[in-house]
Amino acid sequence: MDAPIDRGSADQRPLSKAEYVFQRLRRELQEGTIPPGAQVRQTEISSRYGVSATPVREALRRLEADGMVDYAPHRGATVTEMPKRDVRGLYLFRAEVEGLLARLAAERADATTVSALRTAHDELRRLVRHAAGAEALSSANREFHLAVMRAGSPYIADDIMRPLWEKAIPSSASMWDDPDRVERFLREHEAVLAAVEAGRGQEAGDLMAEHVRVALRERTARNRNPASPHSPM
């Protein structure tokens, strides 16, 4: 029987090996370390995590129930990959929801909320100045978007949009790898933030919705070019 793993924190219970594998593997899937469409080999995971096959199988069953991996005969587990026909729908959905929440953020935000948005934006700017990699920039970009959504509705941001984003848009696959595009995205973020700070709800919503639609156009253009990486924002 696998012994629990002590994560070294006095205020946390030791994790069972199955829970440890589940949390670590889920994080790798969310970050795109194991990309969509890739096979998840139980023997490789067992060796890399230092556990037996049993907790890996248990973790994969949980991830399958969460829709993060698929099982197929003779192939084993494969990371779920969103069909291309659904990508456009995802971005159009995001444009509508994020536009609405940006408008609500402008109407509801107080000084504390605006400060949190500014902090998220400044962190992204800081990472750009320090030449952080595209994955780090993509993660910080996600946190800015979620901060705006949270200002409009914490429930929708954290219970609906964060899980959707983490499942469908891994941070390792990013359009934050081109300096010109990065500066444009930052200017668009700044415009949304300025509208929220000024309480201009309609403008904030329109700017955020268009920002997401721009990302869709960029992704569509890159996906037409086989030499370009599969790159969501």
Residue 36 has pLDDT above 90, yes or no: no
Is pLDDT above 50 for 33? yes
Residue 90 pLDDT exceeds 80: yes
- For 144, residues 6+ apart whose C-beta sits below 8 A from its C-beta are 117, 120, 121, 124, 189
Cα 233 to Cα 231: distance, rounded to the nearest angstrom: 7
Can you state the angle between helices 179-197 and 84-108, rounded to 10 degrees? 40
At 125-175, the pLDDT tens digits run 999 999 888 888 888 999 999 999 999 999 999 999 988 887 776 554 567
Q: Which domains does the chain have, with CATH numbers?
A: 17-79 (1.10.10.10), 84-223 (1.20.120.530)
Q: What distance in Å separates the CA atoms of residue 60 and residue 66, rounded to the nearest whole number? A: 10
pTM: 0.71
Average pLDDT in the 210-220 region?
89
